[in-house]
Amino acid sequence: MRSFVHALPKVELHLHLVGSAGVDTVLQLARRHPEAGVPVDRAELERFYAFRDFDHFLKVFWAVQSMLKGRDDIHTLVVGLAAELVRQNVRYAEVTVTPYNHLLDGMSGDELLAGLASGRAVAAGLGVELAWCFDIPGEKGLDGARETLAFALTERPEGLVSFGLGGPEAGVGRAQFAPFFDAARDAGLHCVPHAGETTGPETIWSAVRDLRAERIGHGTSCVADPALMEHLALKGIPLEVCPTSNVRTRQVASVEAHPVRQMLDAGLVVTLNTDDPPFFGTTLEDEYLAVATALDLGHADVARLAENAVLASFLPNRRKTSLLEEIAAVPAEV
């Protein structure tokens, strides 16, 4: 199964740029910015980076964020991500960027965009296409939403395909962001908010009804509401499921206990993703293998998960058809 998963041309739909930074990338950034206090010795950095608990994850995440000062740092981050995706035979990824956080940290919009563009060009040369989702950091409220929308629509960089909403869910109602999602949709961007990761089904209902979500980030709690699952299945709204992330953040006890089985049994469109892979000690291939093992899936079932991600992506139809044909051509015995 491992060789089969590797041979599948894969697509990833839920992946945060800052959270994609692996040890090699962080080592480059730490040596470039020693004032950040991040370990510059590989062994020490690996110990610092090893997942301990959610609070430690946040500490590492913000340490990486603090070293992103300009275009060279963003370029390094994107190229490091691209190299890791290529290693796993990932052909396309929609990567979430939170411009407002970078702007608050003092980076100019031009620097951010230049780093994204140059890194994306290198990624294309390596064989992986990157698209961008600009997301609202929900905890920053309406100011963050306003600035994120303005930046997305004013700058509109090549590769920007969607508009999202991340950050804490509890106490951050989805409905208040409806005008911003309406404007993004009117401008031709797809709408992909997080919902139902750390809160109940009501948050997913709000994302669907108020934000008119085309995909749901996480959506784990949907299984607590049969009517919601029926609605998601009927409308074909895909879920960006991140099993290991949910385990690490203690939303579920284990991959074996993850509601992904219930989602699949209910006919939901499940896609597998990593969220913040190096931070959580996973890869996209690991996610496929973990779910295949936990649910005792066969090769055809695993291939169907890969197909789901292609179909749920915002790739042009011609590219989707090409990837689906490649998936169908991968033999069970590789």
Supply the residues annotated as catalytic. Answer: 197
User: Cα–Cα–Cα angle for 2, 197, 307, nearest 5°?
Assistant: 40
Radius of gyration of the chain, Cα coordinates, nearest whole angstrom: 19
Q: Which residue has the tokens 């290693």?
A: 87
The stretches of the chain forming alpha helices (DSSP H) are 2-7, 23-32, 42-49, 54-66, 71-87, 99-104, 109-126, 141-155, 178-186, 201-209, 226-235, 243-248, 260-265, 277-280, 284-295, 299-312, 317-329
φ, ψ at 82 (rounded to 5°): -60, -45
Q: What gap in Å lies between CA 190 and CA 205, rounded to an integer? A: 18
Tell me the C-alpha distance between 20 and 1, whole Å. Answer: 25
Phi, psi of 297 (to 5 degrees): -85, 145
How far is residue 174's CA from residue 164's CA, in Å, rounded to a whole number? 11
Residue 34 CB burial class (10 angstroms; 0-12, 13-18, ≥19): exposed
| Structure token pair of residue 229 | 């699952």
The dihedrals phi and psi of 39, each to the nearest 5 degrees, come to -55, 135
Instruction: Indicate the burial class of 318 (C-beta count within 10 angstroms; 0-12, 13-18, 19 or more).
Output: exposed
The tokens for 211 are: 């934000």
